[in-house]
């Protein structure tokens, strides 16, 4: 765009409000922060009130069918808004826009949408908005190139934690998963760019940084000799950052080198999110996960050897095509043995174009639901058991703000990523690091009371 166009764009949008709704994972959250950054740069301001917005953005997810259903449902609300205020600009972006059948559906049934683009097209937003100012009809910014665009403006949504995507895309093609089709091939950002960003985030006062990628362990595979463990090790030397977290780790690439770097502690938090998906070798092979249950267990055992109190969380899919009762009970018994600190459990959802969607022997809903409830019951027991380890201990908590339930109760997280609600009559703020005495334990949170401010990270 020319400078004149940019001036024209800014004068059109300055002072107007935008609303962004984000679906899906933290990569999408980070993308939305870039979209907000671009809109802020035009002089716009964010609003949480969709009815007050001149620009409405839905950043979409398509990981499971219920994500799609929710988004198309909520678009109904936008239709009403657009009928009353035809000048409102409606933007649909994110992963769903990289699936042709969704684009077709938008074109035929959601004609009020003004602008669509995919996850790799965010940098085009100013040019697309400029086109929208001057043209009617649907503006499409969906491209096929997998680029790395540095230095986009970012408006961080949270004060206590900054997100930083270090690797884009995914090459793994797990047979159930849509991500490689909608996010393109793996691209690692240059280490110097990542480290420069992290230093800046530390200097800006962010206490916690979350390094993101669909498979962070693939970071650096496109370089000669610098991998994720190297990056983590370099990042841990940035003193201004008290807490470093990362996700997601793929078991096939989670090596001892990475766990040894984590074992050095410091500002690297003792938490590993390591999706297992299934405990059956047969199902893992059908899923194209490229590890066995035994190999998974080896990683867990090594992690617990070098970081004895590490918290390990996981993702499990129930009802993958062909999953027999024996397969499922292998999942249960591996979970019983490992005792995860927490787990996200999902019922298999067929994604158009992925191999698993066309596999024989799709599992009926009732069987899936019944297995799901057994799994959740076991995991809730393990999650509570894991929380109980903190009872009557002092935990160092990074304050995330007031608790949803009360204005005198604050919420925050321990180094192991456990949620704590605690009482405090001192004036504390989002981003403070405090010591909390844990007085009782519930399945999904701990309760406690404020003891004192803490100057370290408690890792």
- Given candidates 215, 349, 403, 457, which one binds ligand SF4 under the rule CB under 6 A? 215
303 binds ligand F3S (CB under 6 A): no
Supply the Cα-derived Rg of the chain in whole angstroms. 23
214 binds ligand SF4 (CB under 6 A): yes
From the CB of 315, what's the least distance to ligand SAH, in Å?
Answer: 3
254 binds ligand SF4 (CB under 6 A): no
- Contacts of residue 317, defined as CB under 8 A and 6 or more positions apart, other chains included, come to 176, 277, 278, 287, 345, 346, 347, 348
H helices present in 396-449, as ranges: none
Please identify, among the stretches 170-178, 222-230, 396-404, 443-451, the one whose residues bind ligand SF4 according to the rule CB under 6 A. 170-178
348 interface partner picked from ligand SF4, ligand F3S, ligand SAH, none, CB below 5 to 8 A per type: ligand SAH
From the CB of 277, what's the least distance to ligand SAH, in Å?
Answer: 6
What number of residues does the chain have? 459
456: exposed, middle or buried (Cβ count in 10 Å: 0-12, 13-18, 19+): exposed
- Given candidates 174, 182, 231, 335, which one binds ligand SF4 under the rule CB under 6 A? 174
Nearer to ligand F3S, 75 or 300 (CB): 75
351 binds ligand SF4 (CB under 6 A): no
Nearer to ligand F3S, 31 or 327 (CB): 31
Site string for ligand F3S, 74-103 (x = CB under 6 A): --------------------xx--------
Q: What is the spatial distance between Cα 232 and Cα 226, in angstroms, rounded to a whole number? A: 11
- Contacts of residue 427, defined as CB under 8 A and 6 or more positions apart, other chains included, come to none
Q: Which residue has the tokens 């980070």?
A: 30
254 binds ligand F3S (CB under 6 A): no
Report which of 325, 442, 344, 343 is spatially closest to residue 391, judged by C-alpha positions: 442
Nearer to ligand SF4, 277 or 383 (CB): 277
Positive/negative CA dihedral, 320, 274, 448, 431: negative
172 binds ligand SF4 (CB under 6 A): yes
24 interface partner picked from ligand SF4, ligand F3S, ligand SAH, none, CB below 5 to 8 A per type: ligand F3S
180 binds ligand SF4 (CB under 6 A): yes
Buried b (16+ CB within 10 A) or exposed e, 64-95: beebbeebbeebeebeebbeeeeebbbbbbbb
H helices present in 87-239, as ranges: 100-109, 125-134, 179-183, 191-203, 228-235
Report which of 92, 95, 75 is spatially closest to residue 28, judged by C-alpha positions: 95
Please identify, among the stretches 36-44, 55-63, 189-197, 388-396, the one whose residues bind ligand F3S according to the rule CB under 6 A. 55-63
61 binds ligand F3S (CB under 6 A): yes
Of residues 11-50, those binding ligand F3S (CB under 6 A)? 24-25, 27-28
From the CB of 219, what's the least distance to ligand SAH, in Å?
Answer: 13
- Given candidates 98, 250, 273, 351, which one binds ligand SF4 under the rule CB under 6 A? 250
Of residues 51-90, those binding ligand SF4 (CB under 6 A)? none
Helix (H, G, I), strand (E, B) or coil at 27: helix
The residues with which 20 forms a beta bridge, in sequence order, are 57
Strand runs labelled E in 115-212 = 115-117, 139-140, 161-165, 167-168, 187-188, 208-212
351 interface partner picked from ligand SF4, ligand F3S, ligand SAH, none, CB below 5 to 8 A per type: ligand SAH
The contacts found for 36-41 with CB under 8 angstroms, 24 or more apart, are 36/154, 36/155, 36/157, 37/152, 37/153, 37/154, 37/155, 38/122, 38/125, 38/126, 38/152, 38/153, 39/13, 39/125, 40/153, 40/155, 41/153
Please identify, among the stretches 58-66, 69-77, 269-277, 437-445, the one whose residues bind ligand F3S according to the rule CB under 6 A. 58-66
420 binds ligand SF4 (CB under 6 A): no
> CB count, 10 Å around CB of 229?
20
247 binds ligand F3S (CB under 6 A): no
Site string for ligand F3S, 155-194 (x = CB under 6 A): -----------------------xx--xx-----------
Residues that bind ligand SF4 (CB under 6 A): 170, 172-174, 177, 179-180, 214-215, 250
């Amino acid at each position: 765009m020319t400078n004149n166009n940019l001036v024209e764009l800014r004068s059109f949008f300055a002072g107007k409000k935008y609303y962004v709704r984000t679906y899906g994972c933290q990569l999408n959250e980070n993308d939305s922060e870039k979209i907000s950054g671009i809109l802020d740069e035009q002089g716009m301001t964010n609003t949480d009130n969709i009815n007050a917005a001149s620009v409405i953005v839905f950043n979409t997810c398509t990981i499971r069918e219920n994500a799609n259903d929710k988004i198309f449902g909520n678009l109904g609300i936008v239709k009403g808004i657009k009928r009353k205020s035809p000048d409102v600009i409606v933007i649909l972006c994110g992963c769903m826009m990289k699936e042709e059948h969704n684009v077709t559906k938008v074109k035929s049934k959601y004609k009020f949408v003004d602008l669509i683009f995919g996850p790799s097209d965010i940098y085009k937003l100013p040019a697309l908005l400029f086109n929208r100012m001057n043209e009617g009809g649907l503006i499409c910014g969906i491209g096929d190139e997998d680029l790395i665009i540095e230095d986009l403006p970012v408006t961080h949504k949270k004060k206590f934690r900054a997100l930083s995507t270090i690797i884009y895309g995914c090459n793994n093609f797990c047979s159930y998963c849509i991500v490689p089709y909608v996010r393109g091939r793996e691209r690692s950002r240059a280490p110097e760019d990542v480290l420069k960003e992290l230093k800046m985030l530390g200097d800006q006062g962010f206490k916690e940084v979350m390094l993101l990628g669909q498979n962070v362990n693939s970071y650096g595979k496109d370089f000669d000799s610098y991998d994720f463990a190297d990056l983590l090790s370099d990042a841990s030397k940035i003193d201004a950052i008290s807490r470093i977290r990362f996700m997601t780790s793929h078991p096939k690439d989670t090596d001892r080198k990475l766990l040894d770097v984590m074992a050095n502690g410091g500002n690297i938090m003792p938490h590993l999110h390591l999706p297992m998906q299934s405990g059956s070798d047969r199902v893992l092979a059908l899923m194209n996960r490229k590890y066995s249950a035994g190999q998974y267990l080896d990683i867990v055992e090594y992690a617990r050897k070098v970081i004895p109190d590490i918290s390990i969380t996981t993702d499990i899919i129930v009802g993958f095509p062909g999953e027999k009762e024996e397969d499922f009970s292998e999942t249960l018994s591996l979970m019983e043995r490992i005792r995860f600190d927490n787990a996200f459990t999902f019922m298999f959802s067929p994604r158009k174009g992925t191999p698993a969607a066309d596999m024989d022997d799709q599992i009926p809903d009732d069987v899936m639901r019944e297995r799901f409830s057994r799994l959740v019951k076991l995991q809730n027991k393990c999650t509570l058991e894991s929380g109980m380890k903190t009872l009557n201990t002092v935990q160092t908590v990074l304050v995330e703000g007031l608790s949803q339930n009360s204005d005198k109760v604050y919420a925050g997280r321990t180094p192991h990523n456990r949620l704590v609600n605690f009482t405090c009559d001192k004036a504390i703020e989002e981003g403070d690091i405090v010591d909390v005495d844990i007085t009782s334990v519930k399945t999904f949170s701990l309760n406690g009371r404020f003891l004192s401010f803490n100057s370290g990270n408690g890792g």
